[in-house]
Amino acid sequence: MRHKRFLKRLIFIPITIIGIIAIVIIGHFILNKNKIEVVNASSITELALNKKDFKSGVLNENLKEKKDTNYIYIKKLYEIGEQSFRLSSDNSIRLQIKEYTKDKDYIGTIDMGDHDLYTKSDECYYITFTAYKDMNGQVESTNYKELISDINSLITLTSIDTDSLDNLPATNSTYINKGSLSNKANYKTGRYLSWGGSYSNEKGSYCTRDFYMVDPQTTYFININDSRVSLTVNEYDKDGKWLYYKDSLTNGKEYKPTDNKVAYIGITIRSIEWSVDPMDLLKANLIIDFGRDFYINNLEKEDIENVDFSDINNYSSGLFYKGNIGVDKNCLRLNYYLNVKQTKYMVESMDHYLKMYIQEFDNNNTLINSCSKENGESFSPKENTSYIAIYLKCENDVNFSYYKNDFNMKKAINLSEFIPYNYNKEMADLSAKDIVTDINVGWNLGNSLDSHYGDPFTGPHLNQETTWGNITVSKDLIDYVKQQGFNTIRIPVTWVNNTYRDDNGHLKVYTEWLERVSEVVAYAYANDMYVIINTHHEQPIIYAGTTDDKFNQVCSDARDLWKEIATYFKDYDEKLIFESYNEVDNVERSWNFSEKAASQVNTLNQIFVDTVRETGANNAKRVLMIPTLLDGSEKSYLDAFVMPKDSATGKIILTVHNYSTLLTTDINATFATLKDYADKLNVPIVIGEFGSSKKKFLPLELRNVHASNYVKCAANYGIKCIYWDNGAVNDYAIVNRKDFSLSETDIITALINPNSYSFKDSQNLNSFDNFLYMTLNQGNGELKEDKYWGSITTGSMEKGIEISDGVNYISLNLYAVDEFENLKIHYVHFYDSDMNLIENNNDGYGYKNKTFKVPDNAKYLRIGINNSSKATKQNEYASGVDSGKISLSLAFINTNDKKTINKYK
């Protein structure tokens, strides 16, 4: 038995080897069989196509061989240069040139007859050749043997200079054919005159370089795939003598030669739309055909619900012009007119670079309205609209292949009937602390619904959400935000520009704007997110720090506004949170604190709570968010804040804004202060806005560290944060609303999975020995006395603070509280190794924390601190530092060495 097994194995081994070799040989054969030879023809002056090189069939758009006995092709890719060619072939043989990019993406096909010209498209790098026999403008049914036998000579492409041909007289050419008439290279600037038929090189028109043969007994049907194009025809006899002139030939008209003497025609093309250049249309695949029947005609009508918008086969390249089809390679038009209902439709598209253009028609086929819509926008037909025409356009320069790829990637567009979201009306009895505990991190939909234009009470201004540069808010945007891990969204809303006053002077919100806000709220509800809506840029009617008379009107408007909002949303469940106001300004001292303004904000907060509760339903126990004056988080703002009285218990969240740029756990002091304050009031706290600007933040590559550290440190104190994203990709945006794939995913990840950070090379100046009671000469950086006002400066009399080698950024944080809270950093000067000033940074307003890029050759720095509104004596500074109320932290950052950063879970 062992011997038999051994023999079987011995026999099996060579059989296996033979099988592997066979597979390799067959695979090699298949690869070579499918391989297409590349021919470098970039500098040739003549390209001769021998009939022996042709095979039966075609190469399709994907360079795959396809059987078709009516065609022959050469299995080669020709790399061509910038030269143009003239074709020489038998009269009945036509040549198709397929164009491809350098990446071998299909561009288009040019169909040529004898004496036609070929000029490549701008993006063309390769071409292929296919030939067929023409019979009255159609492909003749034949076979390989017959087709080859009809080629009596070489098919030759000769390199020419097209500019030199413009002034040459036209010659009699081949039979008229769609391919020749649709080929941009066969036209030159100018026209054939209506009397005499001679050529005139006038701009604005284009005419055929040659005259094309026609049959005087045939009636031709004009097919043009653009309603803006009009043709004129000059008729000539067999010797080229001018005979007659015909004009205004447009799509759907007939042309018959005037009499039997007509043998050739010259054609001039014009556009009836002055801004449209016919040559641009030719480049965009304009079709001109003197055919045997009409085939470019009116489109069929379909009910909108029966059309599959995701099927690319339902589209053609082009647009609609006043209801008629037109050519535009950047556009994609639907192949049907759509019957619509008198209802609301929503536009959906995963490609945010696309817009949908809609033309509306009544029962008499009269165009009554045109509009454009982008993803997330609604469309409501006019009252007398019967049907619509639709085309798509990308804001970038694209072609049909772009759209085809979009559809293949399921990025299709849709127009479907709007179905209102069926929100939950059962209210779970969650406290403010319950909700804040459940929030992980939030995202602000900034500069969208809070954008605004126009004057108050002049609306409605329903398109205000796009006026600051962001696209229309759509469900897929909110879907993406939720998919990243955010479970809370703050939707800032500006209402005043969509309000009016009734006959009694009360403020009212246009219903259409309330509906639009509710649509966006529904997007978040569908993703099971907490949703915060507020009144955002209402300063024309809501402000503080004003006279009693004016403030009475402010209170009345605030009451009216929140009555409108709260009543509309009163049945929504606990996921919806109302935030009273956003950064209410102090008009007596803009963007500054005053006791009067803070007191008036307290009054406004009480009006808000009372008004919401009075609307009843779920608003009786809805969680509400209340801000300080200006949403300030400094001690003066917190001390002046008064918690409003509330009929519901434990339903209020305190909110502030804080845009600290600190990168490290130094920010813990801020959060500790906020937590102590919130604990005294027994309320949770949410930081409604924080973030970093791509335009200003330093170092830019550590924005993710900033975001991560901020959220982690805040969470350690029970404080939750909502990132401010204004949609501007070069500013605060972390979600690219136009293209999600370009979002700042490193920052998003840092927010969802945060860590805290510190830098190994850091200093904390908490002894008065670290400071000099002196200021800095802002011109030369030298120390000087400051007895009358009082500043403190870092370093010794001889030198500033030394900067270690490799450090390219320095982050500063001034801790100053209680009576010293108005102290700020005003001067940051850099010096070389000899203490010569390299760079001075002087800021009259000052700041508590900031990061600086270290200039080249800088070895030392000095930092100057003072109170710009009050003189401070040396003993006061010493007392503040020694008591721990004043300290200065410095972090020395080397972004090229990750080992200098400490990360904490």
Nearest to 479, CA basis, from 524, 533, 416: 524
Q: Coil, helix or strand for 500?
A: strand
690 touches 412 (CB < 8 A): no
Count how many Cα atoms sit within 13 Å of the Cα of residue 673 in the half-sphere of its side chain: 20
Q: Coil, helix or strand for 288?
A: strand
Q: Coil, helix or strand for 107?
A: strand
795 touches 862 (CB < 8 A): yes
623 touches 432 (CB < 8 A): yes
634 classed as catalytic: no
Render 329-340 in DSSP notation, one character per residue: TTEEEESEEEE-
Token reading at 245: 């002139």
Cβ neighbours around 701 below 10 Å, total:
12
For the chain, the distance separating the N- and C-terminal CA atoms, rounded to the nearest angstrom, is: 66
Q: Coil, helix or strand for 133?
A: strand
Residue 288, C-beta contacts closer than 8 angstroms, at least 6 positions apart: 178, 181, 182, 223, 224, 229, 231, 267, 269
Q: If DSSP states are collapsed to H, E and C, what string results for 413-445?
A: EEEEECCCCCCCCCCCCCCHHHHHHHCCCEEEC
Round to whole Å and give the CA distance between 316 and 62: 19
Round to whole Å and give the CA distance between 67 and 60: 10
Residue 708 parent element (H or E)? helix 703-716
Round to whole Å and give the CA distance between 72 and 50: 12
* Candidate list 99, 377, 574, 689, residue with the active-site label: 689
734 touches 743 (CB < 8 A): yes
User: Residue 400 carries which DSSP code?
Assistant: H
Token reading at 674: 């906020």
* Candidate list 583, 614, 819, 821, residue with the active-site label: 583
> Could you give the residue ranges of the DSSP H alpha helices within 205-310?
278-283
583 classed as catalytic: yes
Say how far residue 842 (Cα) sits from the centre of its chain. Answer: 38
Residue 46, C-beta contacts closer than 8 angstroms, at least 6 positions apart: 156, 157, 158, 159
Residues labelled as active-site residues: 583, 689
